[in-house]
Amino acid sequence: MIGRGATILVTGAAGLIGSAVCRELLARGSRVVACDDFSIGLWREERAGLAWEDLDVADAGAAARIAAHAPAGVVHCAAHPGGKSLQEPSDDARVNALGSMRVFEACARARIPVVYLSSSAVYGEQPPAPIREDAPLAPGTVYAVCKVACEGFLRVLADGYGLPWTVLRLFATYGAGHRPSAHQGIVNVMLTQLQAGGEVVVRGSLDRVRDLLYVDDAARAVAGCLLEPSTRGRVLNVGTGAGLTVREIIHALASLLGRRPGDVVIREEAGTVGDPRYSVADVSQLAALGLKPRLGAAEGLAALVEARRKVAA
């Protein structure tokens, strides 16, 4: 058991999900060591119980630096963004495979429980029905291949060292902690374009379906699984179980920005390699743990737009 007041180390702590996980753990009474190289993430607040460390997880000394904190648990959020993995495949493999192994090695040698944030991308193209955790994996991107490899790394290290692990396959996570971007997060990409003007360029079909997960719900699931021993050695989907088409996402965001559908020009271009048409989670296992998300897409998108408005103001 990881008790109240225990020290938890979070990688990728300045990013969208990592920052929300830090805040959730602090709210639950944990002490948090927040690690990031600040190449992408924005968040760096100073709070009681929170200590920061500049860390590139792929550096040769990363495992030793993680172990030096003697954490009771580790949440590994750090990642090279999936939207850039085809353009920067070596960087993707360096961070997402080698960097993850550095983190896992530190945890394995000290038998520290680790929660690894995998991705719905590991499923690739699937039939149009909620995707179960036992679905065959069909990764179609460098990012997704690295995620599958990392899940395998954990199983080997569990056999060899007794490493306690939990894998969470997060579906399309969004929230206010994303830097406006043309390549990170489908909701973020669409909102960034809508706030910049009246045209949205979509790479791939507008009929693609996505399960949108609000970041605070993701953080509650991550913290809940870290603190729940029954999740060790398990792979769990983290999503809502509901899907929206890309067209519906754009129209919902436009409406929240005070625009009518006819005010937005949508330009559909060729899709990206490995981007599936359908990605919606079966969340039966998550629900059984009492960790099913609280916010639907309507509430979550509204919260995101309001937060971005405040930043812009």
Same domain, 158 and 299: no
Strand 114-119 with 165-170, pairing: parallel
* One domain, residues 234 and 246: no
> Do 183 and 41 sit in the same domain of this protein?
no
Mean pLDDT calculated for residue range 18-24: 98
Q: How far apart are CA 97 and CA 116, in angstroms?
A: 12
Q: Are residues 92 and 191 in the same domain?
A: no
Q: How confident is the model at residue 180 (pLDDT cuts 50, 70, 90)?
A: confident
What three-state secondary structure class fits 156? helix
43 found inside a domain: yes
- Whether 80 and 41 have beta carbons less than 8 Å apart is answered as no
Q: Average per-residue pLDDT in the chain?
A: 95
> Are residues 35 and 110 both part of a single domain?
yes
Q: How far apart are CA 181 and CA 188, in angstroms?
A: 6
Predicted confidence at residue 135, as pLDDT, reads 98
| 276 domain-assigned | yes
Give the strand pairing for 278-279 and 234-238.
Answer: unpaired
Domain that holds residue 277: 176-210+242-285+295-312
Query: How many domains, the chain?
Result: 2
Neighbour tally for 39: CB within 10 Å? 12
Distance CA 80, CA 94 (A): 9
Q: Which amino acid is at 64?
A: A
Nearest to 246 by CA among 221, 272, 227: 272
pLDDT band of 265, cuts 50, 70, 90: very high
pLDDT at 200 over 70: yes
Residue 176: predicted pLDDT: 87
- Give the rounded percent of residues in the chain with a pLDDT score beyond 70: 99
pLDDT at residue 303 tops 70: yes
Q: What is the pLDDT of residues 237-252, one digit of tens each?
A: 999 999 999 999 999 9
131: DSSP letter:
B
Same domain? For 126 and 249 the reply is: no
73 and 145 share one domain: yes
Arithmetic mean of pLDDT, 105-127: 98
Say what the pLDDT of residue 4 is: 86
pLDDT at 61: 97
Question: Per-residue pLDDT averaged across 152-157, rounded?
Answer: 98
How much is the pLDDT for 83? Answer: 85
The pTM for the full model equals 0.96
If asked whether residues 55 and 109 sit together in one domain, one would say yes
Q: Are residues 63 and 150 in the same domain?
A: yes
Looking at residue 276, its pLDDT comes to 96
Helix pair angle (297-312, 246-256), 10° resolution: 50
What is the reported pLDDT for 133? Answer: 98
Q: Residue 313 — very low, low, confident or very high, per pLDDT cuts 50/70/90?
A: low
Residue 1 has pLDDT above 90, yes or no: no
- Does the pLDDT value for residue 261 go beyond 80? no
* Percentage of the chain modeled with pLDDT above 90: 87
By the 8 A CB rule, do 182 and 189 touch? Answer: yes
Residues 182 and 259 reside in one and the same domain: yes
pLDDT exceeds cutoff 90 at 182: no
Residues 263 and 299 occupy one common structural domain: yes
Candidate from 34-38, 47-51, 86-90, 178-182 with smallest mean pLDDT: 178-182
